[in-house]
C-alpha cells in the first residue's frame, strides 16, 4: 500500500507540473522547471516523460562576457580585428567613412574637434562616428584638468576649465578630487565620450620636471591614493580610465619632441614609480598607457612603448590583465626607431593592444601585411582584440 500511495503522489506532482505556465527567463538561458530540487529542461513535445528523464540534472547555459567576446571575435575578419586595435586621431573630414572602412576601434578627439562647435554639433559628430562603425567605438579625450583639457577649455561646454589635481587638492583635499572626477565623467558622458585618458599616475615633486604640472605633485604614496580614488570613481561612473605614462615619466624630458633616455635604477621604479600604477590596477583600471621613454634598466634598445620586456613587467610583475595602449606613435620620441609603416608592427609585437596614431591608414595595412606574411601571428592579434571587445562589453559600449 505504501508503494502504491507513493506512486499516486508522484503522478499527481507530475500532472501539476504539466499544467504550470512557463517562467520568463533571459533569452540565452534555457527554460527549465524544478522537480525535487533537480533542474530539468522542458520537453518540446507532448509525449509523456519518464521519471528518470525528468529527474536527470541538465546544464543551464548562461553566457559570460568572456563567452560573448569570443563569440564576436570568432565572427570577425582579419581586417576587422586589426582595425579594432587602432584608436586614431579623429580626422578633420570623412570621419564616418574612415571609421567604417578601416573598422577602427576608436577615435581620440582633440581641441579642434570642440573649438567653435556647439554641444549639439559635437554630440551629432560623435553619434555619426558610432553609427558608422560595425563594432561600437571608443571615443576618448585627454581631459586631465589643468594644462591638458580638450573639452572644458571652451566655455560652451563648461564655464571654466577643469582644474589640475594639485589645485583641487589644495582647495579641498580628496573630497574635492572626488567631486571633480564625478563632474568630469558626467560632462564627458553627456556628449558621448566613453574614455578619458586620465589620471596621470607619474610621480613628480620637482616643479622643474616636464611632467610636474600634470601630476598630483606629491610622493609615490600620496600619488597612489590619488590614482586609486580617481579610478574607483571613474569605474562607478562607467567611464574608461587610462593610467599613464608607464613605467613612470620621472624627471625626463618631453617625448613629443625627441628621444628620451631614462637612466634611473630598477629599484627606484619598484619603490616609487610603480606604486601609483599598482594602486590603479588594484582599483580596477581598464587601460594602461605606455610611454616612449627608453628606460635602460628595463630595455636599453627600444622605447618602453615598443619594448616586449617592459610589457612583460606590466603583465607579469604588476599583474595587469586589461588593455595596454601606446602613446601617440607619431611622436618624435618613437618615430626614429622605424618608418611609419613599421612602427605599428613593432608596437603589436611588443604586446600593445591599442595603438594611438594619426597615420592609421598606412599602419593598419602594414599590420595586416605582417600577419599575412607570418611576421605577426593571428593568435597574437586575437589576444589583443579579445581584450578590447571584452572592455567594450564590460562598459556597455557593445550592448
Evaluate if residue 22 carries a pLDDT over 50: no
Q: Taking Cα atoms as reference points, which of 299, 309, 359, 354 lies closest to residue 335?
A: 359
Please indicate whether residue 180 is annotated as part of the active site.
Answer: no
Residue 374, C-alpha cell as written in the block: 607570418
Measured CA angle at 216 (ends 213, 217), to 5 deg: 65
Cβ(268)–Cβ(308) under 8 Å? Answer: no
Q: Catalytic residue among 125, 142, 327, 353, which?
A: 327
* Tens-place pLDDT, residues 255-307: 565 678 899 999 999 999 999 999 999 999 999 999 999 999 999 999 999 99
Q: In whole angstroms, what is the distance from residue 88 CA to residue 361 CA?
A: 9
pLDDT (average), residues 182-200: 98
pLDDT in tens, 46-68: 444 444 444 445 565 678 999 99
Closest CA to 201 of 185, 184, 215: 215
Q: Active-site residue among 251, 254, 256, 340? A: 256
Domain positions in the chain = 22-62, 65-394
Residue 327 is among the residues annotated as catalytic for this protein: yes
Instruction: Name the CATH topology of 65-394.
Output: TIM Barrel (3.20.20)
Rg, C-alpha atoms of the chain = 26
Amino acid at each position: 500500500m505504501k508503494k502504491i500511495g507513493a506512486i499516486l503522489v508522484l503522478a499527481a506532482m507530475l500532472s501539476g507540473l504539466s499544467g504550470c505556465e512557463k517562467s520568463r527567463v533571459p533569452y540565452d538561458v534555457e527554460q527549465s522547471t524544478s522537480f525535487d530540487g533537480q533542474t530539468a529542461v522542458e520537453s518540446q513535445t507532448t509525449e509523456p516523460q519518464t521519471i528518470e528523464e525528468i529527474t536527470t540534472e541538465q546544464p543551464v547555459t548562461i553566457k559570460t562576457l568572456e563567452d560573448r567576446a569570443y563569440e564576436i571575435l570568432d565572427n570577425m575578419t582579419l581586417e576587422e580585428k586589426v582595425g579594432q586595435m587602432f584608436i586614431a586621431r579623429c580626422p578633420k573630414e570623412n570621419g564616418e567613412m574612415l571609421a567604417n572602412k578601416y573598422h577602427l576601434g576608436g577615435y581620440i578627439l582633440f581641441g579642434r574637434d570642440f573649438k567653435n562647435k556647439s554641444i549639439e554639433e559635437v554630440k551629432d559628430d560623435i553619434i555619426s562616428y558610432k553609427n558608422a562603425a560595425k563594432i561600437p567605438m571608443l571615443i576618448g579625450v585627454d581631459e586631465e584638468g589643468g594644462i591638458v583639457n580638450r573639452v572644458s577649455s571652451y566655455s560652451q561646454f563648461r564655464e571654466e576649465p577643469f582644474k589640475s589635481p594639485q589645485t583641487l587638492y589644495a582647495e579641498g583635499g580628496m573630497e574635492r578630487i572626488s567631486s571633480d572626477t564625478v563632474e568630469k565623467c558626467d560632462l564627458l558622458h553627456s556628449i558621448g565620450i566613453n574614455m578619458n585618458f586620465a589620471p596621470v599616475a607619474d610621480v613628480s615633486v620637482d616643479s622643474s620636471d616636464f611632467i610636474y604640472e600634470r601630476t598630483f605633485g606629491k610622493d609615490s604614496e600620496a600619488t597612489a591614493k590619488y590614482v586609486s580614488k580617481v579610478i574607483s570613481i571613474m569605474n562607478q561612473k562607467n567611464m574608461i580610465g587610462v593610467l599613464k605614462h608607464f613605467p613612470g615619466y620621472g624627471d625626463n624630458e618631453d617625448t613629443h619632441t625627441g628621444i628620451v633616455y631614462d637612466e634611473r635604477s630598477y629599484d627606484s621604479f619598484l619603490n616609487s614609480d610603480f606604486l601609483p600604477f599598482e594602486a590603479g590596477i588594484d582599483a580596477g583600471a581598464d587601460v594602461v598607457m605606455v610611454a616612449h621613454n627608453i628606460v635602460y634598466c628595463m630595455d636599453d634598445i627600444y622605447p618602453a612603448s615598443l619594448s616586449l620586456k617592459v610589457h612583460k613587467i606590466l603583465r607579469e610583475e604588476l599583474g595587469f590583465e586589461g588593455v595596454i595602449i601606446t602613446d601617440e606613435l607619431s611622436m618624435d620620441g618613437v618615430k626614429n626607431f622605424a618608418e611609419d609603416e613599421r612602427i605599428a608592427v613593432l608596437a603589436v609585437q611588443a604586446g600593445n593592444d591599442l595603438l594611438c596614431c594619426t597615420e592609421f591608414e598606412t599602419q593598419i595595412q602594414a599590420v595586416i601585411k605582417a600577419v599575412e606574411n607570418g611576421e605577426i601571428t593571428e593568435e597574437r592579434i586575437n589576444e589583443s582584440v579579445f581584450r578590447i571587445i571584452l572592455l567594450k562589453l564590460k562598459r556597455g559600449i557593445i550592448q
